[in-house]
Amino acid sequence: MRRILAILMENEPGSLSRIVGLFSQRAFNIESLTVAPTNDNSLSRMTIATEGDDKVLEQIVKQVNKLIDVIKITDITDRQHIERELLLVKVAAVSDKARNDIKRITDIFRGSIVDIGKQVYTVQLTGDAEKLNAFIVAIEHETDIIESARSGCVGMARGDKALRL
Binding site for another protein (CB under 8 A): 9-10, 13-14, 17-18, 21-22, 25, 55, 58-59, 62-63, 65-66, 68-71, 165
Shortest distance (Å) from residue 59 CB to another protein: 6
Nearer to another protein, 11 or 126 (CB): 11
Instruction: Give me the residues paired with residue 49 across strands.
Output: 4, 32
Residue 26: CB minimum distance to another protein, A: 9
As measured in angstroms, the least distance from the Cβ of 57 to another protein is: 12
CA distance 114 to 90: 10
Please report how many Cα atoms fall inside a 13 Å half-sphere around the Cα of residue 8, on the Cβ side.
Answer: 14
SS3 at position 95: coil
| 44 Rama sector, left if φ>0, alpha if ψ -120 to 50, beta otherwise | beta
- Which C-beta is closer to another protein: that of 26 or that of 110? 26
